[in-house]
Amino acid sequence: MPLHRERGVEVTVNPDGWLVLCDGLTGKEHFYPPPFTVAWIALQRWGGDPHLATDEIAEMWQEDPAETLTAVQKWLAELRTARLIRDNHP
């Protein structure tokens, strides 16, 4: 199921490549290193589909697609717990 940002979550990328997700309700910022920025961009390119996004990432980095999917799914679970993303439509 495609992923979506929770309402009020702002996304920026710092000049050093770090992804910053800011919860507009609490003001809390969540920082992720550049590989997560790549994952975030791939998710946006593929309509929030983690399988398609990780296929692209794995091919680009010559990594095992299953391991890449597992790592991204773990990160997405953290984003869900922090209420930064959701699986349903906006």
Q: What's the rounded Cα separation, in Å, for the pair 9 and 85?
A: 8
Whole-model pTM above 0.85?
A: yes
Q: Which residue has the tokens 């920082």?
A: 31
Residue-wise pLDDT tens digits, 14-58? 999 999 999 999 999 999 999 999 999 999 999 889 999 999 999
Structure tokens at 5: 């940002």
Average pLDDT, the chain: 93
Asked if residue 73 lies in contact with residue 50, where contact means CB atoms within 8 angstroms, the answer is: yes
Asked if residue 43 lies in contact with residue 53, where contact means CB atoms within 8 angstroms, the answer is: yes
